[in-house]
């Protein structure tokens, strides 16, 4: 048991995680590509035309997985934040920083595809429904994290501050979602809900799941790649970086 604990903590050091990440990301990229191909196949060629929404509904195969991922990544960021604060590990903060841009990107894509879905269906580029509005706020939370960590020069302080804001954020996300739902049901005016996806044929559900998994694999691959860059940037002046094979002329 203690042997396994030791093994885990070994990878908490940037020096040992760097090569590990280097070996891992191609696998995630490959799996992600295969899943994306399968997902796209289902999205376009297997899922039938919807009776009410025609072909336009196919956007959900991007919109819903992107929303899921943006939420999921935020939770993972908060998880690493908690780990970093508890164990005072440098790598946790680096991991959070590596994940944030991807999470923000998925939040943006969720909003973008939501708008493109809403326009033909309900005639407006933006509807203030609970899901989209919460997603917008989540996007702001991501931007806040990125801005805060970018504004602080000392990387350790930046990591810790980012950890606090992401933990505060993750606690607030359910509160925000609840309050936005509450607000939305009371202002029934613009009550068209983008969550009223066509009654889920099994194929549609599968398509969304597979696309979500594809996005997940992509996120892991990109985060691992990015964290390698972050590790090099932060650990510039260490001996192990100087000994790296790619640094030898």
Partner 1 sequence: MNWGSAGEFFAMGGYGLYVWGSFGVTAAALLIEVVLVRQRFSAVRRSLRRELAADRDTQD
Partner 2 sequence: MNAFIAIVRRDLLLAARRKSEVLTALFFFMIVVSLFPLGIGPETAMLRRIAPGVLWVAALLAAMLSLNRLFAADHQDGTLEQMSLSPTPLALLVSGKVLAHWLTSGLPLVLLAPVLGLQFDLSPRALGVLMISLLLGTPVLSLVGAIGAALTLGVRGGGVLLSLLVLPLYIPALIFGAGAVEADVAGLGAGGHLSLLGALLALGVFFAPWAATAALRIALE
Part of the chain binding partner 2 (CB under 8 A), chosen from 16-24, 28-36, 108-116, 156-164 = 156-164
Q: Which partner in partner 2, partner 1, none is near 180 (CB below 5 to 8 A by kind)?
A: partner 2
Per CB under 8 A, 137 contacts partner 2: yes
List the Cα angle 191/197/198 in 5-degree steps: 125
Per CB under 8 A, 164 contacts partner 2: yes
Part of the chain binding partner 1 (CB under 8 A), chosen from 84-92, 106-114, 138-146, 202-210 = 106-114
Q: Give the residue, chosen from 127, 180, 223, 230, that forms a contact with partner 2 under the rule CB under 8 A.
A: 180
109-128 residues in contact with partner 2 (CB under 8 A) are: none
Q: Rounded to the nearest 5°, which phi and psi values hold at 238?
A: -100, 160
Per CB under 8 A, 59 contacts partner 1: yes
Q: Which partner in partner 1, partner 2, none is near 141 (CB below 5 to 8 A by kind)?
A: partner 2
Are the CB atoms for 66 and 110 separated by under 8 Å?
A: yes
User: What residues make contact with partner 1 under the rule CB under 8 A?
Assistant: 44-45, 47-49, 54-56, 58-59, 62-63, 66, 101-102, 105, 108-109, 112-113, 116-117, 119-120, 218, 222, 225-226, 228-229, 232-233, 236, 241-242, 246-247, 249
């Amino acid at each position: 048991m203690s042997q396994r604990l030791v093994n885990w903590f070994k990878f908490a050091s940037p020096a040992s995680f760097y090569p590990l990440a280097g070996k891992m990301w191609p696998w995630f990229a490959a799996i992600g590509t295969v899943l994306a191909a399968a997902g796209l196949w289902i999205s376009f060629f297997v899922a039938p035309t919807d009776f009410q929404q025609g072909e336009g509904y196919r956007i959900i195969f991007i919109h819903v997985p992107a929303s899921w991922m943006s939420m999921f990544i935020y939770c993972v960021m908060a998880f690493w934040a908690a780990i970093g604060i508890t164990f005072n590990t440098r790598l946790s903060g680096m991991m959070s920083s590596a994940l944030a841009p991807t999470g923000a990107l998925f939040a943006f894509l969720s909003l973008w595809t939501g708008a493109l879905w809403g326009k033909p269906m309900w005639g407006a580029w933006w509807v203030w429904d609970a899901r989209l509005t919460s997603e917008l706020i989540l996007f702001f939370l991501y931007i806040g994290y990125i801005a805060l960590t970018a504004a602080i020069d000392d990387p350790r302080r930046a990591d810790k501050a980012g950890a606090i804001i992401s933990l505060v954020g993750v606690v607030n996300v359910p509160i925000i979602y609840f309050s936005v739902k509450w607000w939305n049901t009371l202002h029934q005016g613009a009550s068209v809900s983008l969550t009223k996806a066509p009654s889920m044929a099994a194929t549609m559900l599968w398509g969304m799941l597979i696309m979500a998994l594809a996005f997940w694999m992509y996120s892991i691959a990109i985060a691992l790649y990015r964290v390698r860059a972050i590790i090099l940037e932060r650990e510039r002046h260490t001996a192990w970086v100087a000994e790296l094979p790619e640094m030898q002329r």
